Amino acid sequence: MKNAELKSRKDAATPRGVGVMCDFYAARAENAELWDVEGRRFIDFAAGIAVCNTGHRHPKILAAIRDQLDHFTHTAYQIVPYASYVELAEKINARAPGDYPKKTAFFTTGAEAVENAIKIARAATGRPGVIAFTGGFHGRTMMGMALTGKVAPYKIGFGPFPSDVFHAPFPNPLHGVTTADSLKAIEFLFKADIDPKRVAAIIFEPVQGEGGFYPAPAEFVRALRKLCNEHGILLIADEVQTGFARTGKLFAMNHYDVVPDLMTMAKSLAGGMPLSGVVGRADLMDAAAPGGLGGTYAGNPLAVAAAHAVLDIIDEEKLCERATLLGDRVKAKLIALQSDVPQIADVRGPGGMVAVEFCKAGGTEPDADFTKRVQTRALERGLLLLVCGVYSNVVRFLFPLTIQDAVFDEAMTILEEVIKDSVAVAA
């Protein structure tokens, strides 16, 4: 089977709205490498969009899934429950930030987790309003799109969106938005758009994912917590992309000295199996009436089994520490290139959630063309990179945290060469 043949069949059988980045088709994968149907090898620095922090086909995850297959594959938890769901909830409750009593509910996708976090917040507060941030990404459902602070390609042609959702600018020092600017914008929302007594929640990503890997400054998170406390608003941390060792901590909120009321999770929770969740204060999580939360596939037993294995792997292989080690190596490589690559405007990110932002040489005007050139040349050399940011001028690095040192070094060599090649073309 050839890639060209599959592309032709894909174009005929599936809608263009499901955007596909690569022109090749996966045949197999192992840890940080994958091979297409024609036998070509690629180093995977996308990891299924931060889903495979534990790598492709980790033996312990495969063993956990196989064991569950021998028992049952589906009952619908809310019809016939099973112990593994309860045990996983207990583990998440114990490890999520916050000393208060917690409860966890499981779902299937990150968007579902966000939707249910908003439902829980509204049920707990009796309020409708939600404040989100520019550049934030919270999913492709109607509420997810309403919360998302990026129009193209997510919102085009799909409105109107749910009401009582408001946006404030997210701190972005490179582009002139300070923490004070963001907080002032929220206060202005309270004056011009919505009474704070009608706001159920403020939702934010500790590190914006699709928005460009911008970390939330510590003073900003503290200020959000204070603002929420003052007005009886719930603080929701969207950890769909940041969770499970990616930032050098199990959760990105572990980097801060304040805690959220609710937290969403997905992606690397189950190492490639579809599983998401919401964890939060027990009193808030109990606000919804029985039957108000759940879903036919929510907390699928195969995915739950994989998630138990993921938590064990993170601990046993010290993936939080490894995320920081590998992330520091990427940042050091990129910073060393800055003197020869004037398009590198910023290198940032905690742990292994690293990004490089490319702008017009010596300035802060986003350079999407240069960024695309780096991505395209890397792919030609067998290195899979993802682009993000409102202006598509950021390359984000989402290598599996289990990646072999030799494969990582090979990727760093390719990265340096394609960036230098791209500078030569730009000149």
Mean pLDDT of the chain: 97
pTM of the model as a whole: 0.97
In this structure, the answer to whether residues 110 and 87 fall within a common structural domain is yes
Q: How far apart are CA 118 and CA 161, in angstroms?
A: 15
Residue 31 has pLDDT above 70, yes or no: yes
In this structure, the answer to whether residues 268 and 286 fall within a common structural domain is yes
Residue recorded with tokens 């917040």: 121
In this structure, the answer to whether residues 23 and 148 fall within a common structural domain is no
Distances (CA, A) of 367 to 8, 266, 334, 342, 372: 32, 31, 17, 11, 9
Residue 281, φ and ψ in degrees, nearest 5: -55, 135
Q: How far apart are CA 224 and CA 340, in angstroms?
A: 39
pLDDT at residue 239 in the model = 98
CATH number of the domain bearing residue 415: 3.90.1150.10
Closest to 150 (Cα-Cα) out of 130, 136, 138: 136
Q: What is the dihedral of CA 270, 25, 209, 101, to 10 degrees?
A: -10
CATH number of the domain bearing residue 119: 3.40.640.10
Q: How far apart are CA 175 and CA 181, in angstroms?
A: 12
Q: How far apart are CA 221 and CA 29, in angstroms?
A: 38
In this structure, the answer to whether residues 186 and 267 fall within a common structural domain is yes
Residue where a domain terminates, one of 279, 301, 316 = 316
In this structure, the answer to whether residues 47 and 140 fall within a common structural domain is no
Q: How far apart are CA 218 and CA 220, in angstroms?
A: 5
Q: Tens of pLDDT along 117-143?
A: 999 999 999 999 999 999 999 999 999
In this structure, the answer to whether residues 340 and 262 fall within a common structural domain is no
Residue where a domain terminates, one of 293, 316, 339 = 316
Total structural domains in the chain? 2
In this structure, the answer to whether residues 44 and 154 fall within a common structural domain is no
Q: Tens of pLDDT along 78-90?
A: 999 999 999 999 9
Residue where a domain terminates, one of 316, 342, 366 = 316
Residue 427 has pLDDT above 90, yes or no: no
Residue 233 CA neighbour count, 13 Å, CB half: 27
Q: Tens of pLDDT along 367-418?
A: 999 999 999 999 999 999 999 999 999 999 999 999 999 999 999 999 999 9
Q: Tens of pLDDT along 142-183?
A: 999 999 999 989 999 999 999 999 999 999 999 999 999 999
In this structure, the answer to whether residues 160 and 189 fall within a common structural domain is yes
In this structure, the answer to whether residues 326 and 276 fall within a common structural domain is no
Contact present, 129 and 228 (Cβ < 8 Å): no
In this structure, the answer to whether residues 325 and 304 fall within a common structural domain is no
Q: Tens of pLDDT along 289-340?
A: 999 999 999 999 999 999 999 999 999 999 999 999 999 999 999 999 999 9
Residue 293, φ and ψ in degrees, nearest 5: -120, 160
Taking residues 225-253, report their average pLDDT: 98
Burial (Cβ within 10 Å: 0-12, 13-18, ≥19) of residue 198: middle
Q: Which range of residues forms the domain containing residue 389?
A: 3-57+318-426
pLDDT at residue 426 in the model = 67
Contact present, 126 and 145 (Cβ < 8 Å): no
In this structure, the answer to whether residues 386 and 299 fall within a common structural domain is no
In this structure, the answer to whether residues 103 and 33 fall within a common structural domain is no
pLDDT at residue 1 in the model = 86
Task: Find all residues with CB under 8 Å of 409, minimum gap 6, and list them.
Answer: none
